[in-house]
Chain A
C-alpha cells in the first residue's frame, strides 16, 4: 500500500447522460418536415446497420430515463438530443424502437398528443397479487395520485379543486403544509402530476376569485384501469362495483376498448 495513486474521481465527469437528456422543458418544438421517400432512401445508405442499431439503443435508453421520471417524451427532444444527424431516418429508427419496447420490455410507445408529438410508455404488464418482488415498489406519491384519480372518476370526470383539497385534508394531507413524503402537496398535484400528464388542472372560465378544476390527464387515461379503481373504491365501501351504475358502465367500456 505504499504508492497510492488515484485518478481524481471528482474531476473527470463524463457528461454522457446529461448531454443526452438535456434540459428541455422550455425549448421550442423544432420544425419537422416529412422527408420524401427518395431522401429517406438516400439517407439510409449513409448509415450502416450497426450504426442504426446503436442509435436505436440510444433512443430506447433516452425514453426509458424519461419514463422513469414519468416525464412525457417529445419528438423534438428525441431529435435534438439523440437522433441528431440521423433525423432523416427518424421514422425507420422509431419503428425499431417501438418494436423493441414491445418485444423486449412489454411496453407500448404511444403518441398521446399528435399535434405536439408527445409520447408516453404504457406498460402491458400489470401488477398481480402475490408478487414475491413488487413490479412497482410502493411509492407514496402513487398512492396519493390514485386517491385523486378516484375522486375525479367517482364524481363524473371533473371536480373543483376545493373538493380535492378538502378530501385530502380529511386524510391528513394538508396542501398548505409541508408533508413528509410529498413535500409541497399543492405543487406535487398541480405541477408534477400535471407535467406527467396524470391530471389536468384548468381554470374554470368566468370565476371571480379564480377557481380551478381537475380532470384525468392523457397518461392516466392510458395507464390507469378504471375498473381496478372502482373495485378498490367498492372494497372501501364494502359494496359491489356494480352499485355505481354509471361508473361501472364507463369502467367496463374503457376496459374493452383497450
Chain B
C-alpha cells in the first residue's frame, strides 16, 4: 500500500487546519472529495488509513489528527491537535490576555459544575473581576460569541459547555489542571463533563450521556457497571443524524454500536 503523502492528503490536512474540527460525515465526504480532485486512489471506508498517512508526516511536527466523540450528541469527530501546546496558550495568537483569562474562568466554572455547564450570567459576572484588564459586559458577551464561533465553547439557551474541539485539544491540560475534579467516562475513558454520575457515594463513576444511552440500550433495569447499584437517572436517547453521506456505504456498522475507542493512545503509537 502506498504510504506516501499526495495532494489529496495535503488538501485534507489544509482543510483540517482551517476548520479545526469536522464531523465524521464531513470527514468521509472530504476524504472522497480530496481523492477525486487529485485523481488519487479512493477507497471508501479507508478514511482512518488515509489519516494515518497524514499523521505519520505530522508527528515530527508535533501535530496530530485525532478522533473524538462529542459529549453532546455522541457523534464522532476529527480534530487537528497540536501536541506542543495542549493548554490555553494554544489560543493565544487569536485572543487578548483578558479574553484568555475570561476563557479560563469559564473553563473553571464548567469543570467545577455537576453537569459540565456554566450559565452566561455566571461567566459574565467574572468579566469585571479580571486581573489582566476588566471587560465590560457587552464586550464580554462578544468575546463569548467569538469563543463559540471559533468552536472552543458551545452554547445552548444561555448555558455554555466545552466544545469537542476544546476537550480534544486540551485533554492533557484539563486532566492535569483539574486533576481531582475531572472524572473519566467509565465507558469510553475520555474526560466526562456533560454526564451522569453513579449516586453510590463509594462509587461515583461518570458516564457521558451518549455512552449511557449506548451502554444501557435495551436494558430495562439499568445498574452501575462499576458497583452494580441501581442507575437512578433517566436513560437518554440519541437519534443518529441521517444525511446523504451516512446512508451509503460509508456508515460502517461497527462505529454505530461500539463505544468509541480511546483514540489518543492508538493513534500515537504509530512508528
Contacts and interface: CB of A to CB of B under 8 A. Distances in A.
Contacts of A14: 85, 87, 89
Contacts of B11: 106, 125, 135
Given A5-B180, A7-B178, A125-B7, A57 B105 contact: no
Given A6-B112, A7-B179, A132-B26, A53 B104 contact: no
Interface residues of B, number: 46
A253 to B, nearest CB: 25
A115 interface: no
B29 A133 contact: yes
B22 interface: yes
A21 interface: yes
A57 B15 contact: no
Contacts of B258: none
A225 interface: no
A1 B30 CA distance: 43
A104 B15 CA distance: 13
Interface stretch (A35-43, A61-69, A165-173, A214-222): A61-69
Contacts of A5: 179-181
Contacts of A106: 7, 10-11, 13-14
B256 interface: no
Q: Classify chain A's interface size.
A: 35 or more
Contacts of B26: 132-133
A66 B183 CA distance: 36
A195 to B, nearest CB: 15
B19 A104 contact: no
Given A6-B112, A7-B179, A125-B11, A16 B84 contact: yes
Interface string A1-42: 101111101101111111001000000000000000000000
A9, A100, A103, most chain B CB atoms within 10 A: A9
A131 interface: yes
Interface string B92-120: 11000000010011011000100000000
A17 B92 contact: yes
B189 interface: no
Interface string A124-165: 110010111111110000000000000000000000000000
Interface in A96-140: 100, 103-106, 123-125, 128, 130-137
Contact of A7 (B17, B82, B104, B177): B177
Contacts of B180: 3-6
Interface of A: 1, 3-7, 9-10, 12-18, 21, 53, 56-57, 60-61, 64-65, 68-69, 100, 103-106, 123-125, 128, 130-137
18 contacts: A5-B179, A6-B179, A13-B88, A16-B85, A17-B90, A17-B93, A57-B61, A65-B93, A103-B57, A106-B7, A123-B14, A124-B7, A125-B7, A125-B10, A131-B33, A133-B15, A134-B18, A135-B18
Given A6-B180, A124-B7, A131-B15, 19 more contacts: A3-B180, A4-B112, A4-B180, A5-B179, A6-B108, A6-B177, A7-B179, A14-B89, A15-B89, A65-B93, A103-B57, A105-B13, A105-B17, A124-B10, A128-B37, A132-B26, A132-B33, A135-B15, A136-B18
